[in-house]
Amino acid sequence: MADSDNSIYLINNNGKTKVDNVEGFNIKFSGVHNVVEIYCSDEELRKFQNCNIRFRDNGLTVIKPTCYSVSNMDIDIESDSKFILGKNTFSYGFTVACKRNTSCIIGDGSFIGTASKFRTSDAHKLYDKNGVWLNPPADIVIGNHVWIGQECLILKKTVVPDNCVIGARSLLNKEYKTKNALLVGSPAVIKKRNISWEP
Ligand SMILES: CC(C)(COP(=O)(O)OP(=O)(O)OC[C@H]1O[C@@H](n2cnc3c(N)ncnc32)[C@H](O)[C@@H]1OP(=O)(O)O)[C@@H](O)C(=O)NCCC(=O)NCCS
């Protein structure tokens, strides 16, 4: 539910409308200065079901429309963080935890396997013997037309280029640079190059 410090906007042919809640979404604010922008017509909103978004302070979530369906999406946006869901995503359910001034950006046309998880932070701090912080949070960027198999774990720093396929139960934790690659394993490595995939 939006209040004066938190805003939910529905953006479509009727313009930009501030609303209290949106069909298909359950949006909860426990802090202030958060913004949700949902770029959907009423008909496009029906493609989203049981999508939960929770905010702390100064968060942003942007949702683009899909020609498929997105259900059981569970998003945690902690302070100063951002989640962007590209258009034409398909998923039966995934989770995102964005913490400490990070972003999780998912490009257009990506399929996200059930129970996959995106985490921009490890949640706890890891230090070396000199007290240097080893595991700061970092952004996650998924390109366009990426197929993520079931139950993948996508950790901080992950960058996946366009047209890649991620094998089921893979773990990603770095920047991958090759487009059209099949990435599999824990941590994922390139198994095939110059692949393409279709829905
Ligand atoms: C990724 C995938 C599509 C690749 O299929 P494929 O091209 O037929 O792959 P192959 O069976 O030829 O495997 C190629 C290599 O990758 C390995 N591999 C494939 N998938 C893997 C996975 N998920 N984890 C680890 N290794 C995997 C294979 O063992 C093989 O290794 P090798 O060359 O050392 O023997 C498929 O393996 C997969 O994970 N499918 C599940 C997708 C899914 O979750 N769908 C749900 C709807 S989103």
For the CA of 169, the closest atom of ligand 1 is 23
CA angle at 111 for the pair 106 and 112, rounded to the nearest 5°: 75
75 lies in which domain range?
6-144+154-160
| Residue 176 belongs to a domain | no
Report the separation in Å between the CA atom of 184 and the middle of ligand 1, taken as the mean of its atom positions. 7
Atom from ligand 1 closest to the CA of residue 182: 1
Ligand 1, CB cutoff 6 Å, lining residues = 111, 113, 149-150, 165, 167-170, 182, 184-185, 191
Residue nearest to atom 16 of ligand 1 (CA): 191
DSSP-H helix ranges across the chain: 42-45
* Inside any domain, residue 14: yes
Q: Establish if 187 belongs to a structural domain.
A: no
Residue 23 is assigned to a structural domain of this protein? yes
> How many whole angstroms separate alpha carbon 74 and alpha carbon 117?
10
Give a yes or no: residue 41 inside a domain.
yes
* Best residue among 116, 160, 184, 186 to mutate for probing ligand 1, ranked by most atoms within 8 Å of CB: 184
What are 61's two structure tokens? 């979530």
Ligand 1 center to residue 132 CA distance, Å? 38
- Number of domains making up the chain: 1
Contact (CB, 8 A) for 104 and 86? no
User: What amino acid occupies position 158?
Assistant: T
pLDDT by residue for the chain (199 residues), tens only, comes to 555 599 999 999 999 999 999 999 999 999 999 999 999 999 999 999 999 999 999 999 999 999 999 999 999 999 899 999 999 999 999 999 999 899 999 999 999 999 999 999 999 999 999 999 999 999 999 999 999 999 999 999 999 999 999 999 999 999 999 999 999 999 999 999 999 999 9
Residue 72 has a pLDDT of: 98
Confirm whether 171 is domain-assigned.
no
Does a structural domain hold residue 71?
yes
Residues in the chain: 199
Does 75 reside within a domain?
yes
**Closest alpha carbon to 59 in 7, 95, 116, 9:** 7
Pair 40, 56: CB distance under 8 Å:
no
Report the CATH number at residue 125.
2.160.10.10
Distance 183 CA to ligand 1 centre (A): 9
Atom of ligand 1 nearest to the CA of 111: 48
Alpha carbon 186 to chain centroid, angstroms: 20
